[in-house]
Structure 1
């Protein structure tokens, strides 16, 4: 097996079943004839190798052939799939009729048979020209059908090569009649039931995992499921075509071995691509680590580009070994990039990330073991036992899929918890919205009440004064001016109250800055008109506070009522307004140096309205006053 085959499995697929395979040769390579009485071997078997896969048989015949089978075994271990192997042997047919025969050689993907004419001219006898399709019996898939001429000795030249990922090696050249070939095939198929059972068990496990992922995708509709499904499909296809003889499942790769050459990068590189996409979606790398997510995307694009280039190269240069070497280097590069990204993600210390990365590392470990087995057993010849290097890959696949299932359960629990938290947030938001709706209803009701009271009382007063003016037959000019002055004053008060309400409900005035501006705009002209010194003191950053409509309206009306009381009753020379925050509350104080009063002896509606408005906005109002010591109104509102 070449390093190309080994690295293809590295980090991509891992394994399930231990087994044994045969490569290399028997102690002495022989031509073994089965159930062909008139056919016998003639002369020794010769061997030769050629690095040029396009070499023609006539040029091969000009070179000497070696008869020592030990040399051929060394060549196979040294060169593997990198060269073509040529074998020359002779058969004698003593029957008066030509005999139809079938040649079978182990572990070679391509066999071409030439017959040497009496003048040593090679003539194509069997090989690629023979069409094979789904109707071809499985027993004929790895054989070359040819005809042995009657009553003569014929020398044959057999070309063996492998451009796919088949094992390279042989035991004997087996020549069968069609009945004996079928019988040998059935004996081999039913002989090793253990290997077939284990491989079918592995394929069943993979198929069940694919169905599980497919159903999860149909139910949940998450992006990572189709990526992981395609990864499993490609891995299963790889092992299916590797073990089609053991399982008896003959895929198109068995009937058309050329597909294994042209689609080699698809089977080896695309699983990396889909697994990277799966990790990117499953771990939500965009939110977990944006830099790693960006690197993974670049690596995915690189794999896509390489797969297309590899296919083009294989079409333009069929049979070139360097294409497989380039593929091996590319797989090593992709693995190194994946290893680097894994170490970058480990730092997050998340159990879900750890599980997925552990599965990937186990997959890589299975590939490494496969590489070591191949190097020690085939390339270096240091391992005498013939272990199946594919097994480590299968073991890794099973462990990785089990870890995936565990990770999926963990993520589903996380998603359910997030859904519950999201639902709780929605419920809290709905409750908050309902409370806001109730607050807005209360505010609208209060506004309607204020409008009804102010407008109703004002219009009633205007109506009464107007009727009084109309009903009085004799009215002096002074009396008429007095009535019209009162009507004008009432109208002005109503307009001012309407202005306050409109200002309070307008959302552009939600900031404390707008409230302060209106306070100063209202109080400063009135105090100047009364020759009262007006001072407004505000704490730093107080203007950044945001107030709702109800609090803003009530705070301003309390301020307005307090200033009006100073102007009307206090006989003060100075009034100081302070606005500040303390322990999460907004504090407003209105302090004057007027004559003061005894609070218990005052029953005016103004003070009652101020306390009512303070309670309406969730605050408290205190009034401190004494005769001759001025008055201090203190409003405290939570913000």
Structure 2
């Protein structure tokens, strides 16, 4: 009636298939480091061991399900891993919190069952009590499954179909194995006929289940990869949009710079020229008005200077380190022009193509200028040493004088001027260091992050 396939050979073939799938899962874990893979491999190994022991139990004349503690414990462990596998594969906690709670309750039931079976094993309870307890707990699990499975089907996730199909194959295999107990004359466990053994059908169900689960994981991984690609594309699009906005902002800054130069600059320059011409035209007859006119001219010249600084700080063409060093030297000479202080510069000897971010350049320049003003007002120095060192990703600006110095205390005791300098430096992610002692001068070091560093 049955094909003459020897049972030992078929079992060896199926066990080999399952073992290969377990090894594949372990290898996948080493590659992806996801718990689902090692749990899946352990589940397969538990089922192989369970089938081996089931073979022995089915051969007993007084066999009752659940009486062998080892079989029941390993089987319960397999179900624990099975539930955990379902949770990870379908992402049940996120998609259906209620089903997740039910599955967690089923895990607790399995843990209780293992503890109860251990107690019966140690107390040497009767096989009837062990079997009835086993059936009771399995019925509780079946009720939980009847609630969860319909809910999972409604999720319409990619992996759900494969999971349900695999579970169906496993259940059908188990049901068919149980049915064989009612036809002992047909399923007589003849070693020559593999299909006469109940375990054959259980193992066929598990083999088909494992194949479905493996396909489900592959499809789910593919979906995850596509989701990652989509997220990456969105991030790239967002970065491009940010670049477009940044470019638009730079254009606006450049437009403002040009407008200030073209419109206000010309008018302020004409005011300065006209005030000078008015003094000449008075020919000494308007001595009382001369100071006022001089003040107008001086004020307009100051405004022109300030406006040029604003234009320089706004325009993106001036964001190179070389341009900054030129501006720093020009500003220092202008400030110290009428003071007996010698300037000493140590700037990069060759061209540096690194860029100072636009949002940092203005604050860095204002900090630098304020330090020079403080030297003029308070230091009584004879020499000022200014150096710029460009390293990978960083510009270090050092300003040192040989003046009278001061007592440098903690930040909370600093004057508002130094605190403001520190805050302005912090605004562009830089570092502000100051070292001073009475009679030994003052050294200030400012570190400014750069947009890039390419030295030729």
TM-score range, shorter chain: 0.5 to 0.7
1:212 aligns with 2:24: yes
Query: What's the offset of the Cα at 1:194?
Result: 1.4
Query: What's the offset of the Cα at 1:488?
Result: 11
SS of the residue 1:295 aligns to: helix
Match of residue 273 from structure 1: 80
Match of residue 203 from structure 1: 15
Whole-Å Cα distance in 1 between the matches of residues 5 and 56 of structure 2?
Answer: 14
List runs of 5+ in structure 2 lacking aligned partners.
59-66, 189-195, 312-456
Can you list the C-alpha shifts for 1:537-596, whole angstroms capped at 9, x where unaligned? xxxxxxxxxxxxxxxxxxxxxxxxxxxxxxxxxxxxxxxxxxxxxxxxxxxxxxxxxxxx
Match of residue 418 from structure 1: 227
The answer on whether the counterparts of 1:461 and 1:490 sit within 8 Å (CA) in structure 2 is no
Equivalent positions of 1:53-452 (< 5 A) are: 194-243=6-55, 261-317=68-124, 321-374=128-181, 376-377=182-183, 385-386=187-188, 387-452=196-261
Structure with more contact order per residue of length (Cα contacts < 8 Å, sep ≥ 6): 1
1:476 aligns with 2:286: yes
Q: 1:398 to 1:475 in 2, by over 3 A?
A: farther
Whole-Å Cα distance in 2 between the matches of residues 462 and 429 of structure 1?
Answer: 48
The answer on whether the counterparts of 1:199 and 1:243 sit within 8 Å (CA) in structure 2 is no
Can you list the C-alpha shifts for 1:357-379, whole angstroms capped at 9, x where unaligned? 121122112222223332x247x
The answer on whether the counterparts of 1:359 and 1:404 sit within 8 Å (CA) in structure 2 is yes
Whole-Å Cα distance in 1 between the matches of residues 130 and 102 of structure 2?
Answer: 26
Match of residue 350 from structure 2: none
Flag the structure with higher helix content.
Answer: 2
Flag the structure with higher strand content.
Answer: 1
Whole-Å Cα distance in 2 between the matches of residues 270 and 392 of structure 1?
Answer: 21
What TM-score do you get using the length of structure 1 for normalisation? 0.40
What TM-score do you get using the length of structure 2 for normalisation? 0.55
Query: What's the offset of the Cα at 1:333?
Result: 1.2
Query: What's the offset of the Cα at 1:200?
Result: 0.7
Query: What's the offset of the Cα at 1:476?
Result: 2.8
Q: 1:313 to 1:465 in 2, by over 3 A?
A: farther
Whole-Å Cα distance in 2 between the matches of residues 475 and 289 of structure 1?
Answer: 95
Whole-Å Cα distance in 2 between the matches of residues 402 and 320 of structure 1?
Answer: 36
List runs of 5+ in structure 1 lacking aligned partners.
1-17, 20-191, 247-259, 502-639
Number of residue equivalences: 294
The answer on whether the counterparts of 1:213 and 1:228 sit within 8 Å (CA) in structure 2 is yes
| Greater gyration radius | 1
SS of the residue 2:174 aligns to: helix
